[in-house]
């Protein structure tokens, strides 16, 4: 089994305000389906109101981000699946529910994780 990250940036979800509740319910239905199938690991959305922090090895923290991740926002989930093909099927379900394309990434295998 492999962990897959399925995600989208907030800007990709261009949904009229009056349809947001329906999109949210459709997304929660996919999450319920993934939980029932036993493949759901974790998911959520990045809290845009909480500024990112850079934490150094000495524990010091400053309000900053890597330049290449300054626009990291939106929603994501991690699913534990048997194959890339299965991950594509789940990503398509999420894309349909959220009404926007999803980015699919595979976590590297680490037996200690």
pLDDT per residue as tens digits for the range 68-113:
887 888 999 999 999 999 999 999 999 999 999 999 999 998 888 7
Mean pLDDT of the region 15-33: 95
The confidence score (pLDDT) of residue 88 equals 97
Which pair of structure tokens corresponds to residue 101? Answer: 């394309």
Rounded CA-CA distance 113/108 in Å is 10
The confidence score (pLDDT) of residue 61 equals 96
Rounded CA-CA distance 41/99 in Å is 22
Q: Radius of gyration over alpha carbons of the chain, in Å?
A: 16
The confidence score (pLDDT) of residue 8 equals 92
Q: What are the helix and strand counts (H, E) for the chain?
A: 2, 6
Confidence of residue 7 (pLDDT cuts 50, 70, 90): very high
Into which CATH architecture does domain 1-10+20-47+74-108 fall?
Answer: 2-Layer Sandwich (3.30)
Domain ranges of the chain: 1-10+20-47+74-108
């Amino acid at each position: 089994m492999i962990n897959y990250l399925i995600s989208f940036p907030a800007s990709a979800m261009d949904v009229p305000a009056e349809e947001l509740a329906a999109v949210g319910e459709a997304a929660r239905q996919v999450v319920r389906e993934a939980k029932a199938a036993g493949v759901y690991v974790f998911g959520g959305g990045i809290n845009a109101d909480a500024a990112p922090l850079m934490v150094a090895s000495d524990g010091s923290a400053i309000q900053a981000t890597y330049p290449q991740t300054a626009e990291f926002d939106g929603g994501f989930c991690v699913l534990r699946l048997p194959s890339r093909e299965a991950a594509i099927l789940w990503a398509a379900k999420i894309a349909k529910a959220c009404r926007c394309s999803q980015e699919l990434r595979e976590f590297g295998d680490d037996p200690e994780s």
